[in-house]
Amino acid sequence: MYLGYVVEKRGRDERIGRHPPILTESEYQRTITAIRSRTRAGNKPRPFGYYLLRGPVYCECGTRMRGEAHVQRGTDRRYYRCPRPGCPARRCPADLIEPIILGQIATAVLPDLVIDTARAELRRLLQDPDAVLTGRQRRRLERRLKNLKLQHEWGDISDEEYRTKRDETRSILDGLPDGDRIRLFDAHRATVVGLATAVDAATPSQHEELCHIVIDRVVVRDREIDAVQWAHPYRVFLERQRECPQGDSNP
């Protein structure tokens, strides 16, 4: 604009405008050179390619922390910082806490005996009459969905009637408790057992995805990990119960 041009298509094209130029070409180049000479590289935080805990990481004040990078001595330094104004928490180096989290993911799997006990307890609970009744109801609703689809294909019911009955059945089905919980338990167990291998072989972006899958929340206090809350499906495999220092009062 200062040179008398009009920029179009977000910078992809330019043409001579109807307004007269404000600066000559030499004046414009001298101005640009002076502006660049006063700009110091590395002062501003800038985005980085990945942060393993982007999303699940929180400050001790309860605010979700942000990832930012700074250039120090020609090297990118990644940090997690609390964005709440006035929060006294210092920014936490990402390289300080990310390896700890990856190590916990790779080594926090409970012993097989504990997991087997949890699986046996789950199976016992599923033998409850209410759970058995729920399973029968789920199977009945699933058969109804298949029958509705067949009736629609045969032309016995209209499109509108089929969609209405299908949506009603799905709504009831979604309101029931999980169906085959033993199968889901075993599937999550297989995923958790392979975490050590997955962590060693994964790329940084895959590490980030893995953290989002198995972690709900990480709390940072004074540049250290204060608490880790595992995602619900994997909590039974990773979360160790706290032991009472006085022992079990009900042996």
Dump pLDDT digits (tens) for 190-206.
666 666 676 777 787 77
Residue 243 is predicted with a pLDDT of 42
State both tokens at 189.
């167990």
Cβ(95)–Cβ(46) below 8 Å:
no
Cβ(129)–Cβ(135) below 8 Å:
no
Inter-axis angle of helices 204-214 and 94-107, nearest 10: 60
pTM for the full predicted model: 0.49
Residue 127 is predicted with a pLDDT of 59
Q: Is 8 exposed, middle or buried (0-12, 13-18, 19+ CB in 10 A)?
A: exposed
pLDDT band at 244 (very low <50, low <70, confident <90, very high): very low
Residue 65 is predicted with a pLDDT of 92
Residue 48 is predicted with a pLDDT of 52
Instruction: Give the tens place of pLDDT for each residue, 106-149.
Output: 776 666 666 677 667 656 655 555 544 556 777 788 888 888 88
CA–CA distance, 250 with 248 (Å, rounded to integer): 5
